Amino acid sequence: MLEDIEEILITEKEIKKKVKELGKKISKKYAGKELVLVSILRGGAFFLADLARNITIPVSIDFIAVSSYGTSTKSTGVVKLIKDLEESIENKDILVIEDIIDTGLTLRYLLKNLQARNPASLNVCALLDKSVRRIVEIPILFKGFDIPDVFVVGYGLDYDQKYRNLPFIGVLKPEVFLRKGE
C-alpha cells in the first residue's frame, strides 16, 4: 500500500494537531447549544471520530451517505442519497463533517437537502479544502487544510475503497489510476 503513495502531503502529527484545534473552536462556538455532528460516510467517519473526541461539549452524532464518484477519481456530477439521517434535525444546530470538499457539487446538494429540514443552524467543518477545483461556492465555517489539485488518500479518503486506513494524507501515484484504465 505504501508503495502506491507518491508523497505524504499531511502527516499524522499535523492532522492530530489540526483536529485538536478544530475541536476547541467548535466547542467554543457551540457552547450551550444542541449540536449534532453529521458525518458524510464513509470517508468522514475517521475525521468525525477524532474530532468528536476533541470537542468538550455534549454532541449527538448522525450519518448520511451520498455518492457522486463510484469507483472513479472524478465526480460524476450525479449525486444520489444512499443513507439518510436517523434522527430529526429540526431546530438543532447541525455541523456537517466532511473529509474533503472538491467541486462542491455533492455538498451543495446535501446542504440544500438538510436546510429543507429546518435546522436552527447549518454549517460545515471540512478537513481538506481543494478550492482550486470548486465549481460552486461552499461556506466552510471550520477548515483544516487547503490542498492542491492532487488525488489524495488516507485518513478516511480512498481510491476504489482502498487506502482509508493510512494515518496520513498522501498523494496517490498516477500509475495506480493507469492500472485501472482511468
Sorted by where each starts, the structural domains of the chain and their CATH numbers stand as 12-147 (3.40.50.2020)
Q: What is the pLDDT of residue 150?
A: 93
Q: Which span out of 70-74, 82-86, 106-110, 167-171 was modeled with the highest average pLDDT?
A: 167-171
Look at residue 117 and tell me whether its pLDDT is greater than 70. Answer: yes
Active site residues: 102
> The C-alpha cell of 76 is what?
460524476
Q: What is the pLDDT of residue 76?
A: 55
- Cα separation, 179 vs 182, whole angstroms: 8
- Cα separation, 157 vs 174, whole angstroms: 16
- Cα separation, 167 vs 2, whole angstroms: 11
**Average pLDDT over every residue of 88-116:** 94
> The C-alpha cell of 61 is what?
452524532
Q: What is the pLDDT of residue 130?
A: 95
Residues 6 or more apart whose Cβ sits within 8 Å of residue 137: 104
